[in-house]
């Protein structure tokens, strides 16, 4: 089932393409359904771009100043441009795999796993499923952490403004995580999320809002400093940073940048919202990807570089909550509210594939169960006992895990590292080779495999750096104390 195509879970049977016949009286039906018998998709270049921007410009932008601080003025921007190019290029390969065979009339693949199953099959499908869904769960945890940090930052900013910067203004993030979880339980009861098209638009606007505020504050701080801070090689080894820590942090920085660009795991689902050819869905998706990645890269470069220019080696791992900025406090509040609003939508965009997968399996196993299929429609909400129980349980679990591990920077780096190679590079490359029948040993085949192996090495190194940092943090952390 496509998570964004507005199809209710109950109607999972794929109807064969209809023959259009005015005499037979099914012409109007053909107007309402696509070639696979599902309700006609209405997505466009602009809606797809909005979905991508919603998924891409997320909390990852807030850690980019820290990442550049670890790498320096040369390697930092270069790494960001490299990840942007790799993400865009492999996304264009993945877009080619939405239909198996003919790009206009071939069989549709509704999910990332469907594409892997159609093109590769076997154990690779299981490997893809494990990595993809584990990553989506991790993103849900990371977004819960990020939203609570922003909500807590609003309270701290107001406290600092009232009591002065010397006041510790301590507070726990736990109540804010619970609040975020309650909101997600409510929104998770909307099964046809793409029908609420305004959510992605609002989330995209919020992304630009807090990114722009972070950029503006970075520029203002740089002007106040009288020049750019930082160095060509990043944080120097000294009393505060050992050579080992420098290595781990440098590797984690690659994971942070990879996380900031991650959206390949939901690309097929977004592509499944695009209306039928002409032009082909792959061409529309490639254009949307080009616009979205170019737009976000400009923002990323500006936010990351200006954050580093403003704070140098002291750049916080979350630009808007690390309190390098204290004033104007109301502007910080606006930025953090925008982050929370964006993450409410982004959480659902990333979790819909998980919800759809479980509910599709349940419908297949127990098609006549009233517990699963019987539902009550209230506006955009479709309330069924199974959906209410299972989706609420999922949100509760991710919220509890977030309370146990509230390490924003480390979680972001680890998620980016683990998911980057398999989902962003390996599977798109392998499926494209199979789909386009790229000859083994040809120049193109060698270049694609070289790209894949190089990215695997980067992913392993970045994951190691993040794990090392998490282990250090756990030595002094007490659960539920954040």
pLDDT of residue 14: 43
Query: Which two structure tokens, joined as six digits, stand for 292?
Result: 């979205």
Sequential DSSP letters for 84-139: HHHHHHHHHHHHTTSEESSTTTSEE--SHHHHHHHHT-THHHHHHHHHHHHHHHHH
Cα distance between residue 180 and residue 195, in whole Å: 22
Give the containing element (helix H, strand E) for 362: helix 329-365
Taking each helix axis as running N to C, give the angle between helix 281-311 and helix 64-95, from 0 to 180 degrees, rounded to the nearest 10.
170
Helix residue ranges, H only, 226-279: 243-260, 267-271
Cα distance between residue 478 and residue 213, in whole Å: 33
Query: Which two structure tokens, joined as six digits, stand for 148?
Result: 């609570």
Length of the chain: 482
Cα distance between residue 470 and residue 230, in whole Å: 26
pLDDT of residue 479: 61
Q: Is 382 helix (H, G, I), strand (E, B) or coil?
A: strand
Classify the C-alpha dihedral 156-208-316-420 as positive or negative: positive
Cis peptide before 413 (omega within 30 of 0): no
- 43: β partners: 274
Separation of first and last alpha carbons in the chain: 38
pLDDT of residue 413: 67
Give the containing element (helix H, strand E) for 381: strand 381-383
Task: Give the list of residues 6+ apart from residue 5 with CB closer than 8 angstroms, or none.
Answer: 38, 39, 41, 110, 194, 272, 273
pLDDT of residue 193: 55
Mean pLDDT by 10 residues, the chain (482 residues): 40 40 45 72 81 70 84 90 91 88 80 88 87 82 85 83 74 87 87 62 79 82 83 78 83 82 80 80 88 86 86 78 68 86 82 82 80 71 80 91 71 73 91 90 93 91 80 67 56
Cα distance between residue 4 and residue 25, in whole Å: 30
Query: Which two structure tokens, joined as six digits, stand for 47?
Result: 């809606």
Task: Give the list of residues 6+ apart from residue 329 with CB closer than 8 angstroms, or none.
Answer: 157, 158, 160, 161
Closest to 338 measured CA to CA, from 204, 458, 193? 204
Closest to 47 measured CA to CA, from 212, 199, 162? 199
Cα distance between residue 267 and residue 86, in whole Å: 15
Cα distance between residue 157 and residue 323, in whole Å: 8
Residue 376 DSSP code: E
Query: Which two structure tokens, joined as six digits, stand for 3?
Result: 């998570």
Closest to 7 measured CA to CA, from 110, 105, 113, 159? 110
Query: Which two structure tokens, joined as six digits, stand for 393?
Result: 């349980």
Phi, psi of 172 (to 5 degrees): -95, 145
Cα distance between residue 145 and residue 398, in whole Å: 10
CA distances to 94, 323, 385 from 214, rounded to whole Å, are 32, 12, 43
Query: Which two structure tokens, joined as six digits, stand for 190?
Result: 């909307």
- 100: β partners: 107
How many CB atoms sit inside 10 A of residue 468's CB? Answer: 18
pLDDT of residue 429: 93
Closest to 428 measured CA to CA, from 307, 268, 255? 268
Which region, left, alpha or beta, applies to residue 177 given φ > 0 means left and ψ of -120 to 50 means alpha? alpha
CA distances to 140, 191, 309 from 424, rounded to whole Å, are 18, 27, 30
Q: Are 391 and 107 in contact (CB under 8 A)?
A: no
Helix residue ranges, H only, 272-314: 281-311
């Amino acid at each position: 089932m496509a998570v964004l195509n507005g199809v209710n879970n109950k109607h999972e049977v794929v109807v064969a393409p209809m023959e259009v016949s005015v005499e037979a009286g099914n012409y109007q039906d053909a107007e309402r359904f696509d070639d696979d018998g599902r309700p006609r998709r209405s997505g466009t270049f602009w809606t797809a771009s909005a979905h991508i921007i919603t998924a891409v410009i997320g909390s990852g932008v807030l850690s980019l100043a820290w990442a550049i601080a670890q790498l320096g003025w040369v390697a930092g921007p270069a790494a960001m441009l490299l990840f942007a190019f790799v993400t865009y290029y492999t996304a264009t390969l993945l877009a080619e795999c939405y239909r198996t065979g003919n790009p206009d009339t071939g069989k549709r693949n509704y999910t990332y796993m469907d594409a892997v199953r159609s093109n590769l099959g076997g154990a690779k499908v299981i490997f893809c499923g494990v990595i993809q869904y584990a990553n989506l769960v991790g993103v849900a945890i990371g977004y819960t952490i990020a939203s609570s940090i922003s909500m807590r930052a609003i309270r701290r900013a107001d406290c600092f403004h009232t009591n002065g910067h010397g006041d510790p203004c301590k507070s726990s993030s736990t109540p804010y995580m619970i609040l975020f979880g309650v909101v997600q339980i409510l929104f998770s009861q909307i099964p046809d999320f793409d029908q609420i098209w305004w959510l992605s638009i609002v989330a995209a606007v919020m992304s630009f809002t807090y990114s722009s505020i972070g950029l503006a504050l970075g520029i203002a701080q740089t002007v106040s400093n009288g020049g750019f801070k930082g160095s060509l090689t990043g944080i120097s080894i000294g009393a505060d940073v050992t050579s080992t820590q420098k290595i781990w942090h440098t590797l984690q920085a690659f994971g942070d940048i990879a996380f900031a660009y991650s959206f390949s795991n939901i690309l097929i689902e977004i592509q499944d919202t695009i209306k039928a050819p002409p032009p082909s869905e792959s061409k529309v998706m490639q254009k949307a990807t080009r616009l979205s990645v170019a737009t976000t890269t400009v923002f990323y470069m500006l936010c990351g570089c200006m954050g580093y220019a403003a704070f140098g080696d002291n750049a916080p791992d979350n630009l808007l909550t690390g309190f390098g900025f204290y004033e104007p406090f109301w502007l910080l509040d606006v930025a953090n509210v925008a982050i929370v609003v964006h993450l409410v939508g982004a959480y659902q965009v990333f979790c819909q594939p998980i919800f759809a997968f479980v509910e599709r399996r349940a419908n297949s196993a127990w098609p006549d169960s009233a517990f699963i299929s019987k539902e009550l429609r209230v506006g955009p909400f479709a309330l069924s006992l199974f959906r209410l129980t299972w989706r609420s349980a999922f949100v509760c679990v991710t919220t509890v895990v977030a309370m146990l591990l509230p390490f924003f920077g480390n979680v972001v780096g680890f998620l980016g590292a683990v998911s980057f190679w398999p989902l962003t590079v390996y599977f798109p490359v392998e499926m494209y080779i199979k789909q386009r029948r790229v000859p083994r040993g040809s120049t193109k085949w060698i270049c694609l495999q070289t790209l894949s192996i190089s990215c695997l090495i980067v992913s392993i190194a970045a994951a190691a750096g993040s794990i090392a940092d998490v282990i250090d943090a756990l030595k002094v952390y007490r659960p539920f104390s954040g």
